Amino acid sequence: MKERRASILKHASKVGFNAVAAFEPENVFYLTGFWGEAIAVCTESGTKLLAPKLEFSRAEQSSVDCEVIPTERGDELLTTFVSEIKGEKACADLNDYGTAEQVRKLGGDIAVNTDTFFQARRIKDDVEIKVITKAAHILDKMYQICADEIRIGLSERDLQAKLIYEAMKMGANPPSYKSTLNPLIIAGGPNGALPHAEVTGRKFHKKDMIVVDLTLRHQGYIADATRTFALGRPTAEMARVYGIVKESQKAGLDAARAGATAGQVDDACRDLIREKGFEKYFIHSTGHGIGLDVHEPPWLKPNNDEVLQEKMAVTVEPGIYLAGKFGVRIEDSIIVTARRPKVLNRYTKELVVL
């Protein structure tokens, strides 16, 4: 945690701050190892974790390299926070305008600057990489369960329930998204043509292509992968589209190395799909960063000139979506290196026919 504090303070100092205040659970966890309701304050002298009394014991047990200070929720928590940053100019990740204004009225010198946190979090340390790798290997086991369980008559919702149950037994938890009612994407037949399909009660049919996009959190960190299965022998069109997406994903992986730009990785995937005549059916960006958030910088999208660096964790996930028919997406979580990336997911990318 000391190295993380030093890193985030370095990024903060570049934009004129000498203190960092984390309100969001992801950033509190990044700086202290505690996930819960609290505020983490980092200065050159150390890290302090301001925890409401109902969280104090848990915060003491799970936090690392920080002083835990008990307080009450609400106004007292903010008053304590302001007293801790007195004399400091702090950047904070507050996304609540009302709270930010209350802090300023109490005399706290803060500015909202979430980019400082993401700048530090872009490069993963060895502990983070180890945990993300473990999460990816849990996903691999989930795909074997898919291969064992998918059959004619099983519903998308039934498969989701089975996968979540097994994942939680292995120490993983589904993340939550504000933009969806479901933790996973399981989309059979025409539903697979919707990149962010909601899980439904639709039952799988013979000749379905089934897109299974699994995102799980292990010890706080996210891994994200997608595989597409065929239920019964695929049509020639299905097999061709699958082969194009597979080839596109390989091109993206080959391009995803330190020194390349995020846009160049997107170009590698998109150019191949364009050459095959399916450009208008690839309707999203190629990938995104992963870590404590499901989606975080860097963004592998067109015209993004951000340079990839070693130890960034990102996804590569091209897809083709034919409305009313089927979709295909293949995705891996990877760690960027100086050469070809370390691909964390091991489950086969050959088309699995069930």
pLDDT band at 85 (very low <50, low <70, confident <90, very high): very high
Q: Is 303 left (phi over 0), alpha (psi -120 to 50) or beta?
A: left
Question: 156-169 and 126-149 are packed helices; what angle lies between their axes, rounded to 10 degrees?
Answer: 140
Q: Among 94-103, 247-256, 344-353, name the one with the lowest average pLDDT.
A: 94-103
CA 217 to each of CA 96, 140, 257: distance values in angstroms, whole numbers, following the listed order: 25, 14, 25
Confidence at residue 179, expressed as pLDDT on a 0 to 100 scale: 86
pLDDT at 96 > cutoff 90: no
Q: Among 108-117, 122-131, 279-288, name the one with the lowest average pLDDT.
A: 108-117
Counted residue by residue, the chain has a size of 354
Q: Residue written as tokens 């995803």?
A: 256
pTM for the structure as a whole:
0.95
The string of DSSP codes covering 273-342 is HHHTT-GGG--S-SEEE-SSSSSEEEEE-TT--PBP-TTBEEEE--EEEETTTEEEE-BEEEE--SSS-E
pLDDT at 175 > cutoff 90: no
Give the mean model confidence (pLDDT) for residues 66-74.
95
Give 232-282 pLDDT, tens digit per residue: 999 999 999 999 999 999 999 999 999 999 999 999 999 999 999 999 999
Alpha helices in 15-68 (DSSP H): 25-32, 53-62
- Planar angle of CA 256, 33, 166, nearest 5 degrees: 70
Tell me how far apart the alpha carbons of residues 33 and 330 are, in angstroms, rounded to a whole number: 32
Cα dihedral sign, 273-223-27-53: positive
The string of DSSP codes covering 78-118 is HHHHHHHTTT--EEE----HHHHHHHHHTT--EEE-THHHH
- Decide: residue 129, CB within 10 A, 0-12 exposed, 13-18 middle, 19+ buried: middle
Confidence at residue 317, expressed as pLDDT on a 0 to 100 scale: 98
Domains of the chain: 2-121 (3.40.350.10), 126-353 (3.90.230.10)
Give the mean model confidence (pLDDT) for residues 20-43.
97
Give the mean model confidence (pLDDT) for residues 316-322.
98
pLDDT at 176 > cutoff 90: no
Give 122's DSSP letter: T
Give 289-316 pLDDT, tens digit per residue: 999 999 999 999 999 999 999 999 999 9
Give 186-238 pLDDT, tens digit per residue: 999 999 999 999 999 999 999 999 999 999 999 999 999 999 999 999 999 99
The pair phi, psi for residue 317, each rounded to 5°, is -150, 65
Give the mean model confidence (pLDDT) for residues 33-39.
97
pLDDT at 163 > cutoff 90: yes
Share of the chain above pLDDT 70, in %: 100
Beta carbons within 10 angstroms of residue 217's beta carbon: 21
Are residues 207 and 234 in contact, defined by beta-carbon separation less than 8 angstroms? Answer: yes
Question: Nearest-CA neighbor of 192 among 106, 281, 277?
Answer: 281
Beta bridge partners of 112: 92
Question: Nearest-CA neighbor of 332 among 345, 342, 319?
Answer: 345
**180's tokens:** 């969806």
pLDDT at 180 > cutoff 90: no
Mean pLDDT of the chain, nearest integer: 96
pLDDT at 177 > cutoff 90: no
